[in-house]
């Protein structure tokens, strides 16, 4: 692995860790204090964390290709984020509602899958 890729993975991990913390905090607040349904709470918390993640990713993680259309890059980022949200909600639903796993543990599993998907798609389409 080259040094540039290693540094990107480290920065991606830091940004992703903060985004995950934001996601979990808002999920917990929406679910426990506002008594929202877990899927609705997850969707809202995911949107908040993805917004942070987009800004941090283009500023600090990825070397954004200046030759690519920024509007297209943003649309791709949103489309992949929506796919990530759907994947996140499906895993959360299966583990929480079908297998009766505690929702925050289900969220950890879902987050791991989506994090891998996010790195691959963002590296491929933002750079």
Q: What is the pLDDT of residues 79-113, one digit of tens each?
A: 888 999 999 999 999 999 999 999 999 999 999 99
What's the mean pLDDT in 50-79? 79
pTM for the model:
0.80
Q: How many domains does the chain have?
A: 1
Confirm if 39 and 91 have CB atoms less than 8 A apart: no
More confident residue, 5 or 29: 29
| Maximum Cα interatomic distance, the chain, rounded to a whole number of Å | 48
Task: Please name the residues in contact with 24: beta carbons below 8 A apart, sequence gap of 6 or more.
Answer: 45, 104, 107
Confirm if 46 and 23 have CB atoms less than 8 A apart: yes
Which helix (H) or strand (E) segment is 7 a member of? helix 3-28
Task: For residue 126, name the pLDDT band (cuts at 50, 70, 90).
Answer: low
Range of the domain at 60: 3-126
């Amino acid at each position: 692995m080259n040094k540039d890729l290693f540094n990107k993975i480290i920065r991606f991990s830091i940004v992703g860790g903060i985004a995950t913390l934001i996601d979990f905090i808002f999920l917990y607040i929406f679910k426990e204090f506002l008594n929202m349904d877990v899927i609705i709470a997850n969707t809202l918390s995911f949107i908040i964390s993805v917004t942070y993640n987009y800004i941090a990713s283009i500023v600090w993680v990825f070397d954004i290709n200046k030759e690519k259309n920024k509007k297209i890059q943003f649309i791709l980022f949103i489309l992949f984020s929506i796919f990530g949200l759907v994947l996140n909600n499906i895993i959360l639903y299966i583990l929480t509602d079908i297998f009766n796993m505690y929702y925050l543990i289900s969220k950890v599993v879902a987050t791991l899958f989506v994090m891998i998907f996010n790195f691959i798609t963002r590296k491929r389409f933002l750079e």
